[in-house]
Structure 1
Amino acid sequence: MIENMLAMNKTNILGLAIIMVAVATILSSCHDKRSRGLEYAPNMYYPIAYNPDQKNPIFENGISAQVPPIGTTPIGFTKFDEFPNTPEGYTAASTGITNPLPVTKKNLVEGQQLYIAMCGPCHGPKGMGNGHIVELGKFPAPPSYSTGNSSRGGAMNQLTDGKIYHTIQYGLNLMGSYSSQLSPEERWKVIMYVHQLQKPQ
């Protein structure tokens, strides 16, 4: 008799527990139709900060993504305004700026790696104007650094730090600007390596 009562109590307790879980589930799911219930780390889904495209009551114009103040330079960028993208700016850059980095083996190796990745497809691994893009036959070859002549006049082996930097910054002819692909320090390392390619091969 006692054993039957214990078995009935266990059954009742188990049944009651199942009913309570079911009721809790139903009640929690009916609270908010859009709610997904409990979430792990909800701030990962609903960030505290405003998204750039959200309205923002903090600023007068209500825009989160504000334009930088006039005259400021974003972090990681270097202004090059004193040498504009004009023939005069190119000439001024020729004598106005020089490579601030020391010529070291480490800088030359890094410059070579950057050159091969960024410049080599057109200028070729040795700067002879025979890169993979040129070999396809769809684009004219750029002049050789050691023997060619610049389209702006003068020999390629006479290009100064400033002239090469100006060309990397703004591009020339079919060559586009590499200002977004190469940081100022990386450009100086590339220029350092280009000077090696200007020497007779």
Structure 2
Amino acid sequence: MLAMSKYKLLGATALAIVTAVVATSCKDKQSTGWQYAPNMYEHIAFEYDQKNPNFKDGKTAQVPPAGTIPVGFTRFDYPNTRAGYDQASAEVKNPLPSTPANFEEGKVLFLHFCSPCHGENGQGDGLVTQHGYPPPPSYSKGQSSRGGAMKDLTDGKIYHTVTYGVNAMGSYASQLSPEERWKVIMYVHHLQTL
């Protein structure tokens, strides 16, 4: 008798579930059903391209206030001119400590980003020279196109060149963060002594 009531209870529960599913599925076909956390689907905030009555010009996308600096941005206030290059040479020093870890990271970055042109040992014999491109000067023996020996390049001169580029070398500011550039410079100073 007890077993029979269990089956009746189980059957009644199954019938109730089936009835509920059928009843809720027969609603409006355009309905997507219940939404969990509707504020995730229906934005309260204005979209960037919408009109916005909260601002004088009616635009949601606003220009940042003058003088603001993005989070994580490092200022380099030396213009891409010869005067900026010379000023950076005199004033800019590597802020990172010279540690084995920074040196090794600089080596890896140099091999990935710089060695295709400059060669693994900085002698200007990278792979691109095999394809007809002019070789860059050797770090230890060459002469800079801006004057002076490559082995005498300072932190500021190298940082300025990596940031802005020079001659056939383009800027690497978008490929290397400021910290990564300083690590590469540590390794370049090693190559200047070879």
Other-structure match for 2:90: 95
Deviations 1:24-55 (A, max 9, x none): 4455453471525556x666x62757586453
User: Which among 139, 149, 155 is matched to residue 155 of structure 1?
Assistant: 149
**SS state at 1:33 partner:** coil
Distance 1:174 1:27 in 2: 72
Per the normalisation by structure 1, the TM-score is: 0.75
% identical aligned pairs: 50
User: Which among 146, 168, 176 is matched to residue 162 of structure 2?
Assistant: 168
Deviations 1:7-36 (A, max 9, x none): xx95xx95x877765664455453471525
For the Cα contact (< 8 Å) 1:28–1:37, is it kept in 2? no
Aligned residue pairs: how many? 188
Shift of 1:125: 1.1
For the Cα contact (< 8 Å) 2:46–2:52, is it kept in 1? no
Q: 1:50 to 1:131 in 2, by over 3 A?
A: farther
Q: What's the C-alpha RMSD, in Å, of the aligned pairs?
A: 3.3
Query: In the alignment, does 2:138 pair up with 1:144?
Result: yes
Q: 1:17 to 1:66 in 2, by over 3 A?
A: same
Shift of 1:56: 7.0
Runs (5+) with no aligned partner, structure 1? 1-5
Q: How does 1:46-195 map to 2 (within 5 A)?
A: 46=41, 50=45, 53=48, 55=50, 57=52, 59-60=54-55, 61-63=58-60, 65-81=61-77, 83-135=78-130, 137-195=131-189
Other-structure match for 1:3: none
Distance 2:71 2:191 in 1: 32
Per the normalisation by structure 2, the TM-score is: 0.78
Q: 1:18 to 1:47 in 2, by over 3 A?
A: same
Q: 1:84 to 1:46 in 2, by over 3 A?
A: same
